C-alpha cells in the first residue's frame, strides 16, 4: 500500500496562527482547550473537532471548532466576523454556526462555529 494512506493530516499550527492574528481591535485570550477555571474575556477557544478518513484512502476530512466567549453580544459579533474571515482565508468552510447563547450563571455570551474541509493527503491541498 502507498504510504500516503497512513499520513495524518495536521493543520493545528495554521489554525492557531490565523486565530492569533485576528483582524480586530479587541484584545482576546486564545486557548486551544477549555479552561479549568475562569479565563479572561473575551476568549477564543479552538480545537480540532474531527479528523477522519473518507471512502477514498488518500482523502481526510478536517473540522475545527471555534468558540467565542464574550461579555457582550456586540463584542461577540466583532470577533465572529474576524474569526470567520481568518478561517475562510485558510481555505476552510464554515459548516456550522450555533445559535447565540447566554450563560446566566457566568453572565457571558457564547457562540460556536465549525469550519472544515476535505484534504488530499498526496498534495495536502484542500478539496471539495
Taking only the tens place, the pLDDT of each residue in 14-73 is 999 999 999 999 999 999 987 666 778 999 999 999 999 999 999 999 999 999 999 988
What's the confidence (pLDDT) of residue 106? 63
pTM of this structure:
0.91
Mean pLDDT in residue range 6-14:
92
DSSP E strand stretches across 14-100? 29-31, 43-53, 59-70, 93-97
Tell me what pLDDT residue 36 has.
Answer: 66
Separation between Cα atoms, residue 61 and residue 51, nearest integer Å: 6
Query: What does CATH list as the number for 3-127?
Result: 3.30.2000.10
62 with 51: CB under 8 angstroms?
yes
Residue 56 grid cell: 477514498
Q: If you average pLDDT over every residue of the chain, what do you get?
A: 91
Q: How confident is the model at residue 5 (pLDDT cuts 50, 70, 90)?
A: confident
Res 40: pLDDT:
86
Percent of residues, the chain, with pLDDT higher than 90: 73
Of 32-36, 99-103, 113-117, the range with the lowest mean pLDDT is 32-36
Residue 107: per-residue pLDDT: 77
Amino acid at each position: 500500500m502507498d504510504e500516503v494512506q497512513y499520513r495524518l493530516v495536521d493543520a493545528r499550527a495554521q489554525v492557531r496562527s490565523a486565530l492569533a492574528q485576528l483582524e480586530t481591535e479587541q484584545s482576546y485570550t486564545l486557548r486551544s482547550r477549555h479552561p479549568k477555571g475562569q479565563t479572561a474575556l473575551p476568549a477564543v477557544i479552538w480545537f480540532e473537532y474531527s479528523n477522519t478518513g473518507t471512502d477514498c484512502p488518500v482523502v481526510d476530512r478536517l473540522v475545527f471548532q471555534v468558540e467565542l466567549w464574550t461579555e457582550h453580544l456586540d463584542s461577540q459579533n466583532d470577533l465572529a466576523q474576524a474569526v470567520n474571515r481568518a478561517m475562510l482565508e485558510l481555505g476552510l468552510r464554515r459548516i456550522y454556526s450555533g445559535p447565540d447563547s447566554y450563560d446566566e450563571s457566568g453572565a457571558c455570551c457564547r457562540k460556536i462555529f465549525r469550519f472544515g474541509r476535505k484534504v488530499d493527503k498526496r498534495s495536502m491541498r484542500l478539496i471539495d
